[in-house]
A and B are shown apart, each in its own frame.
Chain A
Amino acid sequence: MKAPFGCKLLGAQQALGGISDGVILFHSVVGCNFGSMAFHFVSCDMTEVRQTCTVISDNEVVFGGEHALEKALSSAEELYHPAVIFVVTGCVSDIIQDDVKRIAAAFERTHGRKVIAVEAAGYRGNFRVGYEAGMKALGMLMEGPQAEKEMSPMPEKGQETKKKVPEKGSEDAEKCKVPQVNILGIGADDPRCASDLEALEELFGGKARICTAFSKTDLAGVRRAPGADLNLVFGYGVELAKDMEKRFGIPYVCLDYPYGLTGARQLWKVLESRFGLNFDAEEAAFQARTAEGAKGIYSYLQALYGLPAAVVGSGARAAGLARFLSAELGMEIEVCAKREALQDIEETYDEVRRSEAAFLFGSSFEQELADELEIPLLRFDFPVFDRICLTKRPYIGAEGTLCLLEDLFCEAFAARTLKGAIYQ
């Protein structure tokens, strides 16, 4: 089979890599560290190397890797001075049955440093499973709400966890402090992670705030998370959200990635219904900004209208983008494949081959298909290893929508292959 989806270990890395004062210690072979680091470096930040490895070798396979793990923990503690060490196990340490949890607990006792073990053997799940495991592990660092929350009382046992919603415009609503939300599901190595988070906060218009975005925070941020009023889950992180609902009474909502106005509307709708907020002004501003910003290329936008396209991506992103492309640009989405549901990516490629798609949306790996079909590719899904983003260029929000349009047309222009006569 041609793999449609990444490794469980890399999923865990994506979930844990956003904790800026933590360090990930892979209890695995060199290739796991090198391969995951390669994705991190090219898409994110070459200066931060907050991951390392026990380098399991023949010796550990024969005699066990626990000694190597103890040594690595001591060294990581000494060299990184981390707030927390995440020990992520790979296939080999799992097969040789190292007692990672015992060693982590013993180290935590003797060194007073938080150590969290995350099982991420690639033969026991895919990227999504690893991501969920990593996120769930972050829950172990949470102790309880940090501050009294006027809008989010802890539920009594057996009570519905949905929070009390003041009526729109009522005095109660006015009095309430700004609701806080946690953001789950954005990968730490998404090149647009920081930009999208800022854009997300802008979409809130100051009426709600991000409490903790797990893809860009620190241990204090993780510990602060139970103080939020709502968990917004963009695809992955559902297991942690469920756990936080159970433990802290924080409700959660799963959303598609909020591309375009339609994505923003979905987000606003949730905040409106949960907190009695009103985003009419933000919506009007969004519409005006995108209309003004895109008017200079209206003819190109007309060219997209009715254009067949294919989307291949992880669930929430694929769904959010397909909706944007269809509802806002008027494109015909002939294939929308969600990685989690695929067995063999070649079957999806066949579907795209059979379609009339003239534009492909996917990860950097989909360049293979784009080349074959001689159509442009816009990279929006992990992994993106052949595009960089240094400036604030989100893909969500009004400015993000314009950035996405810029990139979409730039890719279309760059994908030209014709050199000679057009009709020969």
Chain B
Amino acid sequence: MYSIFYDDLASRLYPSSILHAYGVNGKISGSVGAIGEIGGNVVAVLHAPVGCGYHYRYSARRRHQPFYPLLSTDLTEQEIIFGGEEKLLKTVREAWKRYEPEMVFIIPSPVSDILNEDIRSAAAKLRREGIKVTAIQSELFSHRDKNYSRNRLKEIAKQKITGDTRLEIELKGCGFTEALYAIVEQVMKPQEIISRSVNIETVGWGSEGRLVLREMEAFLNTCGVTVNTWIPSAGVAALEHAPAAQLNLVKRIRWARRMKERFGTDYMQLNGNGRYTGLDGIALFYRDIAEKLCILPEMEEKIEKKTEETRMLAKESLAYLGSKHCVLVCRGISDAPFTLKLFAKEFGVGIGALCVILTEEQRRSLNITKDIEEQLVERIREAAKLYAPQVRILFNPDREQLQNCFAQADAVLGTGDFTLEGCGAPLIPIGTEMTSLSFESWLRNIKRLERRIRNAGRKDALLLNRMPFQEERYADYDSVSARAAREMWQRMWLEKKGE
């Protein structure tokens, strides 16, 4: 049995969200994370001093579960002066002999980048010796492009919520993407195209990810569509075979573009920015796939049937939820329109008030100008008109206003902000991802919401609420050093000019 919430717990046992308040990980961790997803016997060689090879086993975007087969070339002062190619070749040869892996992946580090080590030439030399090796190439030094989130928000602000909300922005310098890019370039091989087949990128699906991916596959199978390769969560042979797919379903763009250039594989990005919200959104997702595969007429009937079946199964829950009056609290100004759509339109909950919280801190870190903020607010108003015309919208309500709203509500939805417990209505904590792209996921969410509202009880003696948290960043503990560390990060990175 697979437990969604144990998966969630396992994810949270690595305090990633807190750590990201004070920094981002080096991109090595992304590359290690990607390689860690590859099944079978693969080994990663980090071209770096010995300490990096030790610690990056843990700091590897794999929750609290280390990636063990990480070796180091052990760069010392000698290599800093004379170059490290010999040591790289030696380490890879030894790894190939000792572990007999299906593939050795070479990961660069800031040190090898500064030394301008030609990792790809070294890999070519090793390949000539019969060693299967893939070299990941650094696109940016040390870490990913910091402006990605800001640029993305700027583009989202321009979008109409009812329009085509798809958005393609490349993220440069992400170690994970760099690894996928290397897989496309050096692992994948030209293949005969298998009609009606897709590859699916596996990482970034939230708590339910593993289950949802299988559910998606099952539905696609009923439509005659097969999953060719899970990228990168597959063995080396399956990754080699990835170009056989007709279509890539991707979370990240950069590697998919490269695959299209190299093998002609079309792609569809799954971050629809609200496009795929709710049951109709899920149906639209499968229609988009069908359209890309040119089988829409055939799939349409199955999509419609599944949608209706799912809606029927949710009938009682929907009726119950329709009798409830709730308050919706959103801390993400860009997500608020679709969160409202999900609860008001899809789940049919009566939303009396929508409380949108946008702090100075968010404005600053996401570089939200007055114009962008106005655009984002306008989107929320547009969503309210469409999905919940009676809703009262409150921007940055104070405690008293919140309590007044909560006093008339059966429950508070949309947030995991435990500091709002004890304010007059029970809070229904959301998971890390409320709904995903399988019909079953949508149904589970409805049933869970119903169950939680029925069982909602007072949680006004929370241990967490005996501790001080920063009001403007509710998940952050309030201590002098925590505030200082965050501000340091803001100044030294986010506000750094010239990058």
Q: Are A and B a genuine interacting pair, yes or no?
A: yes
Given A29-B142, A79-B483, A385-B64, CB of A127 within 8 Å of CB of B51? yes
Contact at B51–A41, with CB atoms within 8 Å? no
Alpha-carbon separation in the docked complex, A35 to B199 (Å): 32
Given A61-B141, A75-B488, A79-B488, CB of A50 within 8 Å of CB of B53? no
Alpha-carbon separation in the docked complex, A368 to B36 (Å): 14
Contact at A35–B55, with CB atoms within 8 Å? yes
Q: From A62, which residue of chain B is reached at the shortest CB distance?
A: B141
Question: Is B89 interfacial (CB-CB < 8 Å)?
Answer: no
The contact string, 1 if C-beta is below 8 Å from chain B, for chain A 32-61, is 111111110110001111111111111101
List of B residues within 8 angstroms of A9 by Cβ: 51
Contact at A48–B479, with CB atoms within 8 Å? yes
Query: Is the interface on chain B under 10, 10 to 19, 20 to 34, or 35 or more residues?
Result: 35 or more
Contact at B484–A124, with CB atoms within 8 Å? no
Contact at A365–B72, with CB atoms within 8 Å? no
Question: Is A281 interfacial (CB-CB < 8 Å)?
Answer: no
- Min CB–CB distance A13 → chain B (angstroms): 11
List of B residues within 8 angstroms of A7 by Cβ: 49-52, 54-55
Q: Which among B18-26, B290-298, B319-327, B424-432 touches the partner chain?
A: B18-26
Pick the residue among A5, A32, A81, A385 that contacts B58 (CB under 8 A).
A385
List of B residues within 8 angstroms of A368 by Cβ: 66, 68
Alpha-carbon separation in the docked complex, A170 to B184 (Å): 81
Contact at B485–A54, with CB atoms within 8 Å? no
Contact at A95–B111, with CB atoms within 8 Å? yes
Contact at A3–B492, with CB atoms within 8 Å? no
Alpha-carbon separation in the docked complex, A96 to B70 (Å): 27
List of B residues within 8 angstroms of A52 by Cβ: 22, 484-485, 488-489, 492
Contact at A29–B26, with CB atoms within 8 Å? yes
Contact at B15–A50, with CB atoms within 8 Å? no
Contact at A76–B64, with CB atoms within 8 Å? no
Alpha-carbon separation in the docked complex, A105 to B123 (Å): 45
- Min CB–CB distance A420 → chain B (angstroms): 17
Contact at A47–B482, with CB atoms within 8 Å? yes
Question: Is B217 interfacial (CB-CB < 8 Å)?
Answer: no
List of A residues within 8 angstroms of B273 by Cβ: none
Interfacial residues of chain A within 80-121, with CB under 8 A of chain B in the complex: 80-81, 91-92, 95-96, 121
Q: From B113, which residue of chain A is reached at the shortest CB distance?
A: A61
Alpha-carbon separation in the docked complex, A376 to B58 (Å): 20
A-B residue pairs in contact (CB < 8 Å), sample of 30: A1-B50, A2-B70, A2-B72, A3-B50, A3-B53, A5-B50, A6-B54, A7-B51, A7-B55, A8-B51, A29-B143, A31-B26, A34-B22, A34-B23, A35-B29, A35-B58, A37-B22, A38-B59, A49-B482, A49-B484, A52-B484, A55-B489, A57-B499, A79-B487, A92-B114, A95-B111, A122-B111, A365-B54, A367-B66, A386-B64
New contact pairs (4) apart from A95-B80, A364-B58, CB-CB < 8 Å:
A2-B71, A47-B479, A47-B482, A123-B79
